[in-house]
Structure 1
């Protein structure tokens, strides 16, 4: 497809459907938060100013990542009910999230709903061979944060390629110019293929699971957030957040009917200061660029944005960079947690090894008293 033929945005019908979905869900969430709960926000005015600065897609200079703790199955979309109505009808300036493939994309109806609601299909490694840090959806997220659009310059193939079976698809655009595949067989709209999605906003829960504990400590953070920060071009803005209250609305110990949210609870959403990303991550990104350039020189060709070779996935230096970046993100969220008057966590709480104390694997109540649920 020639650049002049590339649509700058999805079809009018898709945009209308997405706007309707985002607005309807947003109104329901806002009505619940402010009509049936006592909700407070901290730092929201700063965050709305940031969204206002990003409203014109053509003037955006970088993407946006918001990152927070994860306390209930309703965290997203419920927490975005604190945004005023005027933000909800503009999907191009609303968040993209990561949703579990086996929960949110089980059939065509759910898949359509969550795709219109700007949720990317994400395989969970405990439930799918296609899960993990290097799945195509993470590539999509990196490209959404970057300066797109990203398309297959050869245009769509005559028919979809269903021959791929590897859980590590090298490039999501292998089978089409406006779609991507999470496993080499399915097909989803590729949001990063459109100019209107350039430098988008992505929200991520790095704990990867709902974690409810009386002292409000967090689980260790998984490394996906580090890929978004290290590999996006340029480095996205990062806003850490802290949420309290949704765990009472959808507590993991709730009795029948479990699917009904419990009203009349206190909810607090705190938006931290936008990080100085050059100061917070500049040294790590420079090391990553050097490592990537070394690999590209060795292979004699540039790697596409979000696509990695084996060395960039698994070498000791690449792993060390992801670990350090993830711990810095966690520290930023802890800074916001501290503003809520909570005591500092035990430093060991951020280590994966600590969670052997949880006891048995899987969901439910753990030996350390926490309640955990896969999302």
Structure 2
């Protein structure tokens, strides 16, 4: 694409529909929290100051990652109902999330709604052969956090052994060419192709599934968050968040009507301080950049978010992701400790610890906690 054809933003109608969707959902969540719940927040002033600093896209210098524990199917979007009203109708300064493909993108209606709602279609490995750490949606998230725009896609699966139903989601008010595929068959808008989305805000639940326990114990964190931190350019801001009480709004043991959130519950959202990225992750990013530079010398330049086999699976790459993910989890644990919870058992940070779930990944576990795929 020639520079003069490079779009600043999606079409006007698309932006209006997105603002309406984000705002309407935000209003519903805010109404539920303020009118039918007891809400307390901690540290939100600092977070709102950070959002204010990011209000104008042209002035942003880096992306923003928020990361939290995951305790109910409604954590997102209800969580963002705590934001002041003035923030709810500005999609360019609101979060992008990762939503389960097999739940949120099963037909064109749902795909349209969640695309307007700034949710990226994400395959889960337990449900799809296209899931995992290196799927194209993770590339989109990395590029949203980076400067961009990124106009060319080279990360769709080269060969798809089965054809899935395609939502064929494009911007009907433009020429629709700025798209990407999650599996080689479907079509979704590529948000990282627009200047207005550079250095965006991405929220992630690294546990990858709901985990409800009385002691607010967290599962191990999956490595996707490490890719966002190691590969985005420049280093994004990272804000850890710890949430409580949303599990009472949508507890996994709830009976009929299951789809209705339970009112009159107490919820709490605690924002940690923005992490000093260079202090917390600088050494890991330096090692990653050196690895990447060495691989590019061998095989040529790699686009942002695109990896060769060595950068995916080598021992050093795995070690970097493991350590990066451990540090992210520790940052959320630090916020958890502020809320008066005891120190976490180090074994909880290990995937091997949770293998005891075996085939019964969902439902009540031996320790009394409840897990659910989301």
The TM-score range, normalised by the shorter chain, is over 0.9
Q: In the alignment, which residue of structure 1 is the partner of 2:71?
A: 71
User: Distance in 1 between the 2:361 and 2:180 partners?
Assistant: 30
Output one character per residue of 1:115-143: Cα deviation in whole Å (capped at 9) or x when no partner.
Answer: 00000000000000000000000000000
> Contact 1:72–1:251 at 8 Å: present in 2 too?
yes
Gaps of 5+ in 2: 163-175
> Contact 1:248–1:262 at 8 Å: present in 2 too?
yes
Gaps of 5+ in 1: 155-160, 168-175
> Contact 1:105–1:121 at 8 Å: present in 2 too?
yes
SS at match of 1:242: strand
Q: In the alignment, which residue of structure 2 is the partner of 1:158?
A: none
SS at match of 2:367: coil
User: Distance in 2 between the 1:328 and 1:232 partners?
Assistant: 17
User: Distance in 2 between the 1:30 and 1:44 partners?
Assistant: 15
SS at match of 2:330: helix
User: Distance in 1 between the 2:6 and 2:359 partners?
Assistant: 51
> Contact 1:65–1:238 at 8 Å: present in 2 too?
yes
* TM-score, with structure 2 as normaliser: 0.94
SS at match of 1:41: strand
Q: In the alignment, which residue of structure 2 is the partner of 1:364?
A: 363
Task: List structure 1 segments (4+ residues) > 2 angstroms apart after TM superposition.
Answer: 161-164, 356-362
Instruction: Please report how far the alpha carbon of residue 356 of structure 1 lies from its aligned counterpart in structure 2 after TM superposition.
Output: 2.5
Cα distance change, pair 162–143 in 1 and its aligned pair in 2 (3 A): closer
| Pairing 1:151–2:151 present | yes
Q: In the alignment, which residue of structure 1 is the partner of 2:225?
A: 225
Q: In the alignment, which residue of structure 2 is the partner of 1:196?
A: 196
Instruction: Please report how far the alpha carbon of residue 358 of structure 1 lies from its aligned counterpart in structure 2 after TM superposition.
Output: 3.2
SS at match of 2:121: strand
SS at match of 1:121: strand
Instruction: Please report how far the alpha carbon of residue 53 of structure 1 lies from its aligned counterpart in structure 2 after TM superposition.
Output: 0.2
Q: In the alignment, which residue of structure 1 is the partner of 2:323?
A: 324
Output one character per residue of 1:73-124: Cα deviation in whole Å (capped at 9) or x when no partner.
Answer: 0000000000011111110000000000000001000000000000000000
User: Distance in 1 between the 2:237 and 2:79 partners?
Assistant: 20
SS at match of 1:286: helix
Q: What is the aligned residue count?
A: 360
User: Distance in 2 between the 1:308 and 1:163 partners?
Assistant: 14
**What are the residue-to-residue correspondences of 1:43-54 with 2, within 5 Å?**
43-54=43-54
User: Distance in 2 between the 1:356 and 1:187 partners?
Assistant: 35
> Contact 1:162–1:185 at 8 Å: present in 2 too?
no
Q: In the alignment, which residue of structure 2 is the partner of 1:285?
A: 285
**What are the residue-to-residue correspondences of 1:147-296 with 2, within 5 Å?**
147-152=147-152, 164-165=159-160, 177-296=177-296
RMSD: 1.6
Cα distance change, pair 333–166 in 1 and its aligned pair in 2 (3 A): farther
User: Distance in 1 between the 2:246 and 2:50 partners?
Assistant: 25
> Contact 2:153–2:180 at 8 Å: present in 1 too?
no
User: Distance in 2 between the 1:162 and 1:265 partners?
Assistant: 44
Q: In the alignment, which residue of structure 1 is the partner of 2:305?
A: 306
User: Distance in 2 between the 1:283 and 1:312 partners?
Assistant: 17
* TM-score, with structure 1 as normaliser: 0.94
Cα distance change, pair 318–166 in 1 and its aligned pair in 2 (3 A): farther
SS at match of 1:24: helix
